Amino acid sequence: MQQHGGGDASQRIARISAHLNPNKSQMEGSPSLERSTCRAKGGSPGFKVAILGAAGGIGQPLSMLMKMNPLVSVLHLYDVRGFLGPQQLENALTGMDLVIIPAGVPRKPGMTRDDLFNINAGIVKTLCEGIAKCCPKAIVNVISNPVNSTVPIAAEVFKKAGTYDPRRLLGVTMLDVVRANTFVAEILGHDPREVDVPVVGGHAGVTILPLLSQIKPPCSFTSEEIAHLTSRIQNGGTEVVEAKAGAGSATLSMAYAAVKFADACLRGLRGDADDHIFLQVTELPFFASKVRLGRNGVEEIYPLGPVNEFERAGLEKAKKELAASIEKGISFANK
């Protein structure tokens, strides 16, 4: 999700699926609770990346996967425990090209993502104040929920600091695309890597809007299949939260989605063309859709494309809920 002039957002089509992860990861070699700095082997030139919330369920596998990315030469892992606060945050952020934020609390069964607002809004605000100060030109990938509100909070913080560049702030909704590709591939009997399902809107409930009429390769579903698939994609996160029964939300699949997204951002920074990203304009200030990433972040926004009647009705519902979540984030940041 990302704002762009009149209003848009972003996510990336994932090519592989690894969605339901019932157990929180306990990775060997996970980032220490202290900030660490690691250089890629051989000190090869590359980008500087910070992960804020690196010791968490997402942060651990995400850190390992980013360390394996040849485009990353410096990786800073920041967390709260063991740190004395702002001074260490500044050290973690200074000079970064890309900052990924999976910091914050996850849901428990029975909660909505919006129920996380009271804790996570403040966390994201503080971290973004650090970004505005220490690496104002960095691309920022916001994972912390509720993404529909935390991205507007980040935008407001950057606006206040005079550093806001809508091309460089992106909410990560790619897990919805990973899930959509997986569920559709399951029904079609395809490899999920061969399936391309656009998912637009936001990252919560009805704001997650799969455009099943635009699937590639083209295919057709019955109206029952469409209703089932749409609901499963919209509720994939809740399915994981319930399966984990109090032990958090999606972690490995999110790390996978975040790495695909971050890699697209880094390849854009390097100047590679990448037209697999989502972003789009509606009358809303933030709305996930398809974009092209480049040296400055989002460089081109693709149109939503033709939507059918079912999708148009879904779009209206999505916009209504998204508008309220955006407003909530903006009000929080300005109070």
Ligand X SMILES: NC(=O)c1ccc[n+]([C@@H]2O[C@H](COP(=O)([O-])OP(=O)(O)OC[C@H]3O[C@@H](n4cnc5c(N)ncnc54)[C@H](O)[C@@H]3O)[C@@H](O)[C@H]2O)c1
Ligand Y SMILES: O=C(O)C[C@H](O)C(=O)O
At residue 264, what are phi and psi to the nearest 5 degrees? Answer: -65, -40
Residue written as token pair 């980040």: 154
Candidate segments 55-63, 189-197, 220-228, 273-281, binder of ligand X by CB under 6 A: 55-63
Q: Is 181 in the site for ligand X (CB under 6 A)?
A: no
Rounded CA-CA distance 197/214 in Å is 7
Rounded CA-CA distance 55/58 in Å is 8
Binding mask 163-202 for ligand Y (x = CB under 6 A): ------------x---------------------------
**Nearest residue to 150 (alpha-carbon basis) of 276, 309, 1:** 1
Q: Which residues are CB-neighbours of 198 under 8 A, at least 6 positions away?
A: 13, 177, 210, 211, 214, 215, 278, 289, 290, 305
Q: How far is the CB of 66 from ligand Y (least distance, A)?
A: 19
10 Å Cβ neighbour count for 312? 10
10 Å Cβ neighbour count for 303? 9
Q: Is 105 in the site for ligand X (CB under 6 A)?
A: yes
- Which member of 4, 203, 228, 276 is catalytic? 203
Candidate segments 190-198, 244-252, 286-294, 301-309, binder of ligand X by CB under 6 A: 244-252
Q: Is 65 in the site for ligand Y (CB under 6 A)?
A: no
Q: Is 145 in the site for ligand X (CB under 6 A)?
A: yes
**Is the CB of residue 223 less than 8 Å from the CB of residue 29?**
no
Q: How far is the CB of 258 from ligand Y (least distance, A)?
A: 11
Per DSSP, the chain holds a count of helices (H) and strands (E) of 9, 12
Choose between 130 and 192: whose C-beta lies nearer to ligand Y: 192
Choose between 62 and 301: whose C-beta lies nearer to ligand X: 62
Choose between 105 and 188: whose C-beta lies nearer to ligand X: 105
**Is the CB of residue 128 less than 8 Å from the CB of residue 156?**
no
Q: How far is the CB of 175 from ligand Y (least distance, A)?
A: 5
56 is in an annotated binding site: yes
Q: Which residues are CB-neighbours of 228 under 8 A, at least 6 positions away?
A: none
Residue 323 interacts, among ligand Y, ligand X, none and using kind-specific CB cut-offs from 5 to 8 Å, with: none
Binders of ligand Y in range 235-294 (CB under 6 A): 237-238, 240-241, 249-250
| 276 noted as active-site residue | no
144 is in an annotated binding site: yes
- Residues acting as catalytic residues: 203
Q: Which residues participate in the annotated binding site for NAD(+)? A: 53-59, 79, 120, 143-145, 254
Using CB under 6 A, list all residues that contact ligand Y: 106-107, 113, 145, 175, 203, 237-238, 240-241, 249-250
